[in-house]
Structure 1
Amino acid sequence: MPEKSQLDVAADLLALLGDTATEPRPDTQLEALTLAVAADLPVLLWGEPGIGKTAALTQLATTLDLPLTTVIASVHEPSDFSGLPIVGDDPAEQGVPMAPPDWAVRLVRAGRGLLFLDELSTAPPAVQAALLRLVLERRIGALQLPPGVRIVAAANPRSSAADGWELSPPLANRFVHLQWTHDHEVVVRGLGGTWPRATLPRLDPDALPDAVAFARRAVCGLLTGRPKLVHQLPNSEARRGGAWPSPRSWDMALRLIAFATAAGSSRDVLSLLIRGTVGDGPGLELLASLDRMDLPDPEDLLADPAGAVLPERGDLRQAVLDGVVAAVRNRPERARWDSAWALLVRAMETGAPDVVVVPATTLASLRREDWDVPAAIERLAGAVALSRRADRAADRVASRVAALAGKAGR
């Protein structure tokens, strides 16, 4: 047997280095990516060079058994995405068709695939304009990409991109923006030969109608109360190149809430997706309203204060108690007033007593002259007095600190 050449031995060594395995491992950003891919929404991964964006997409395509087509946006001309004009036999009669590039034809023939638009932030404005129709309508020239094709892009921040450009607002608003960061443990274990496995979310078929209804109620409920959030184009150029609210991005957020609900995804995953779609401010407002959608009905609590189950989180418990007091204010009756006091006692006994201070003060102001003071008030009086003493002590400390700061300034 002839001796192997050094290049053959080097090839064997490279094969061993490339022989890695995957394992199921909780990974919030990878789960958010796969959920957005399942929802058939274009995703844009933002991260510093060398952080593993391309490797993540390669592994995702392998795991999902999707052929990967990589297109470096910055090295293409606008006509590569809008189509090249081809003159036929009778252009006056048949027109001039726009011929698509070869990679688009391969995707159509395969019927499925993962289109990876890399280095998007180094694409000049003319190329970004040509990408608009591809990203939104999935059309390249006269060619329509099949439904089985998913689109994911990657970009470096302008500060670390080679000849980088800010994304145009129309193009940015077509993506779900995910900030891609490295996890130390994932990197170390991956270099050791085992990387996390990307899997599509398991959607519960029985939960689909409720998931859609929940998503629509969440988004419509927020926008009904906050109409100015429907469309907010940011003032700065940099923020316009990221996630911001528009009717299009709210529609994407609604779709992602439905998918995350049907998949039973964690709040962290949902937070990444929502904030990556409509921006941090509107996204956090939507997340807060989602928390409050599952809160118990104040009327149910007033009907059975002894069996009431209150949220564990302090802010949600505060919101529930405020809702109960508001319900009594809207329909003040002696029995409802007594039930509200019983609920405040239950809240004090099962959680931090400070959350009952404001509701108790407000509820006391609703008393009518012919209503007897319930015995429950005595049990709450100590907590209210203690909270007020703590507030006064905090005010005194703050005043002293301010005075000391003033002396130091002189």
Structure 2
Amino acid sequence: MIYAELISIGDELLIGQVVNTNAPWISRQLNKAGFAVKQITVVGDLEDEIINALDLARKRADIILITGGLGPTKDDLTKQVLCKYFNTHLVFDPQAYNDIENIFRARGREVTPTNRTQAELPASCIPVYNKNGTAPGMWFHADGKVFVSMPGVPYEMEAMMTDFVIPKLMQEFKSTPVIHKTILTQGIGESYLSDMIAEWENNLPEYMKLAYLPAAGMVRLRLTGMGESKNMENEMIIETGKLKKLIAPYIYGEEDETLAEIIGKLLRASGKTLATAESCTGGNIAHLITSVPGSSEYYVGSVVSYSNEIKKNELNVNADTLLRKGAVSEEVAIQMAEGVRKKYNVDFAISTTGIAGPDGGSEEKPVGTVWIAVADAEKTIAKKFLLGTNRMRVIQVASETALNQLRKLIIGQI
């Protein structure tokens, strides 16, 4: 197995000012190419820390990929540190400078003396030219290892990885086939899932591994096969099929699909329309739905009925029902869903009403109580959920749960 290690450089990563999105993206690309990531390390803009990270990485991995620290300012040390580490010196690279000139010309600007220094590269490296920015990458060989340094700007790094780094790594190393199958579940916790599939999991072939990946309102099950087995693809399909049978009521999709995307496909395929009425989720369901390109084909709109007055005036929720049952009730959830469906003349509707917290709960209706209703022309179904006491998690889980309830209604599961 060929192992890779990632080193992300930058004080901004250590203090939390910038989120390190590069490392997970690179890990995914390496994994697809058949290289296993051994470790991810984040270090600051300090020479000793960078050198120490390089020393440790070369002991563990065959491929060391470095991001960050290639800017033109004094705090960007990576290029100088790599020169010292590989006992080389900087030389001017005409092609790198031409790329920098083209970028400045496109912006109507002249290359500054500081930016000109970015065209100086270590003499012993293979340049990795940057068509999207002013910082070229660098490829080094040392003791059978490969070191690649790339800019920390994501779209610059991603282009280098896609166009040059991954193809060249696959030329230089024999990668190991890796296959992933991911099942998406909702409405059941990981410990319950684990109990349900324990016997199946214990009997998996040695080269297969199952990972549980919980998130707000859902659990992903990722089955990974790694090795040289000729029948791995077929065996993965067989094992995935067994898993699906065991947990069928909780599965809503596969791979990287979101519930909002799945809902969109179902509505688009049937030519149906949707509207939402949200209280405790405050428009989050509408946000998830409209994050899908083309959602205007099936999504009409929403009423964020946070107050009882809006529930009454915009959704025709009965004032007496609000008085007798309270806003967080089955009856109000049903009237909200039916009200918004009629208001916008749509085929399907979702409503949510609940107590997101941290205040507002009672013994009868504690914080985290959420009623969710889904409706079509024939029926309206409401269900109560207890979603914990963390406000943001209640909103997130309620939103995903509402979408899943709608999915079940559309396909006839409820």
TM-score bucket (shorter structure): under 0.3
Structure ID, larger Rg: 1
Q: TM-score, normalised by structure 1?
A: 0.25
Q: Which has the higher strand share?
A: 2
